[in-house]
């Protein structure tokens, strides 16, 4: 395979894979054995769409996240890999007191609220690997494994090595975002939430 | 005249007036006598325009400011008063380390860098009145007087009372922004700065 060179990106490269968990307790027990617990939190995300480019078609996302750690605005570019959710990610931290005002500015410059996604996330770390155990009402439990590395192929190898250790079926790999999964399941009213 | 009711705004109302100063020392001496010094700083602003709505026509502005106090993203709405620069203002504070990333996100969602404006600003405060003594290379010295009040007419009265005390000619009131003044003077290459 050799090392693939990445296209130039202004943001970071987010390399992660996601799997549906039928028995979250079993997997989490294994995770706890090999990784350190970081945080257990509720993440509240608002996704925006653009008035002049349909992000659902361009496979982009703008997300405003609020949780106990703070508020952040994140741009996600189109996915670039067939096996993972790898994509460009640009993240900016906002002063938490300015959360509502950030929404207002985004709406002024041509974005519109599209959907809200709320989940419980438990994060574990093993070296440069972040492991998230996520629970979404109606959707169930998931594991997201993210490797902080600039080399896509190397990161993928690490992800799928861990997947094997945890006894997860590689075939259950889900490239859709939670937003896409919620829409697909009819669990989300998308923009109707804000009417 | 009576009290005018303001239209509903999601942001704050910024009520300020600006005057050109021929002899900045004389005016600043008077300011120092009646107001408290707050800060002396260099402000570096990047103005953005939108790909789908020309802000120079809609009289809007998106500004990313960097100075010793931090980084902020500000939306300014169309001016709403003939005597002052009063307009809606929505300001969000960004973590300073994320300055470049904020530019990247704005460009991803349809904004483009339009111009850079750099000025020295000395701020004084007298109660709910902020007094800025500004110097811009090529343009000269200015005073901006801002009153923090929700009532436009009351704020205007306060501004013009102070203008009289400082011996400034009310007729020299400038409604144009520094960005507009720089463009008008041919001092700014606007988007050429970024090519």
Q: Spell out the domain ranges in chain A.
A: 12-194
Arithmetic mean of pLDDT over chain B: 89
Q: Quote the pTM value.
A: 0.89
Q: Do A95 and B94 touch (CB under 8 A)?
A: yes
Greater pLDDT, B138 or A188? B138
CA-to-CA distance for B144 and A63, rounded, in angstroms?
A: 36
What is the per-residue pLDDT across A149-159, written as a single tens digit (0 to 9) for each? 888 999 999 99
Residue B193 has pLDDT above 80, yes or no: no
Kindly state the average pLDDT of the residues B174-192: 82
Residues of chain B in contact with residue A52, where contact means CB-CB under 8 angstroms, are: 51-52, 110
Give pLDDT, residue A107: 95
Q: Do A95 and B90 touch (CB under 8 A)?
A: no
Nearest CA in chain A to B71: A94
Kindly state the average pLDDT of the residues A107-114: 94
**Which contiguous run of DSSP H or E holds residue A154?**
helix A152-165
Comparing A34-43, A144-153, B167-176, the range with the smallest average pLDDT is B167-176
Kindly state the average pLDDT of the residues A163-178: 87
CA-to-CA distance for B48 and B114, rounded, in angstroms?
A: 5
Nearest to B49 by CA among B62, B64, B32: B62
Greater pLDDT, A169 or A53? A53
Give pLDDT, residue B192: 47
Q: 3-state class of B180 per DSSP? A: helix
> How close does chain B come to A58, measured CA to CA in Å?
12
> How close does chain B come to A114, measured CA to CA in Å?
15
Nearest Cβ partner of A94 from B52, B94, B109?
B94
Class of domain B13-194: mainly beta
ipTM, two decimals: 0.88
Who contacts A62 (Cβ-Cβ below 8 Å, separation ≥6)?
A47, A48, A49, A50, A55, A73, A74, A75, A76, A106, A111, B105, B109
Give pLDDT, residue A188: 78
Comparing B23-27, B36-40, B82-86, the range with the smallest average pLDDT is B82-86
pLDDT bracket for residue B11 (50, 70, 90):
low
Arithmetic mean of pLDDT over chain A: 89
Who contacts A195 (Cβ-Cβ below 8 Å, separation ≥6)?
none
Rounded to whole angstroms, what are the CA distances from B135 to A13, B39, B91, B112, B122?
A: 42, 14, 23, 26, 9
Nearest Cβ partner of B62 from A92, A93, A109?
A109
pLDDT bracket for residue B41 (50, 70, 90):
very high
Options 2.40.320.10, 3.40.50.720, 1.10.760.10, 1.10.3720.10; which CATH number does A12-194 get?
2.40.320.10
Q: Are B88 and B151 in contact (CB under 8 A)?
A: no
Residue B12 has pLDDT above 90, yes or no: no
Residues of chain B in contact with residue A50, where contact means CB-CB under 8 angstroms, are: 109-110
Q: Which residue do the tokens 């960004």 mark?
A: B94
Kindly state the average pLDDT of the residues A70-85: 93
Residues of chain A in contact with residue B75, where contact means CB-CB under 8 angstroms, are: 104-105, 108-109
> How close does chain A come to B1, measured CA to CA in Å?
32
Residues of chain A in contact with residue B101, where contact means CB-CB under 8 angstroms, are: 11, 90-92
pLDDT bracket for residue B150 (50, 70, 90):
confident
What is the per-residue pLDDT across A25-41, written as a single tens digit (0 to 9) for each? 999 999 999 999 999 99
Nearest to B93 by CA among A101, A64, A113: A101
């Amino acid at each position: 395979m050799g090392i693939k060179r990445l296209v130039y990106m202004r943001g970071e490269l987010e390399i992660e894979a996601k799997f549906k968990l039928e028995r979250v307790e079993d997997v989490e027990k294994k995770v706890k054995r090999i990784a350190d617990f970081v945080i257990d939190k509720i993440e509240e995300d608002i996704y925006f769409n653009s008035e002049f480019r349909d992000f659902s078609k361009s496979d982009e996302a703008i997300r405003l996240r609020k949780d106990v750690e703070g508020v952040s605005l994140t741009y996600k570019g189109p996915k670039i890999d067939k096996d993972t959710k790898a994509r460009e990610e640009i993240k900016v931290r906002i002063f938490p007191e300015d959360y509502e005002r950030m929404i207002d500015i985004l709406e002024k410059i041509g974005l519109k609220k599209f959907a809200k996604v709320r989940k419980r996330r438990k994060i574990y770390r093993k070296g440069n690997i972040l492991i998230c155990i996520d629970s979404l009402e109606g959707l169930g439990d998931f594991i997201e494994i993210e490797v902080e590395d600039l080399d896509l192929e190397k990161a993928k190898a690490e992800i799928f090595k861990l997947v094997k250790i945890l006894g997860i079926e590689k075939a259950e790999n889900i490239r859709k975002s939670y937003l896409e999964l919620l829409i697909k399941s009819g669990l989300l009213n998308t923009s109707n939430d804000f009417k």
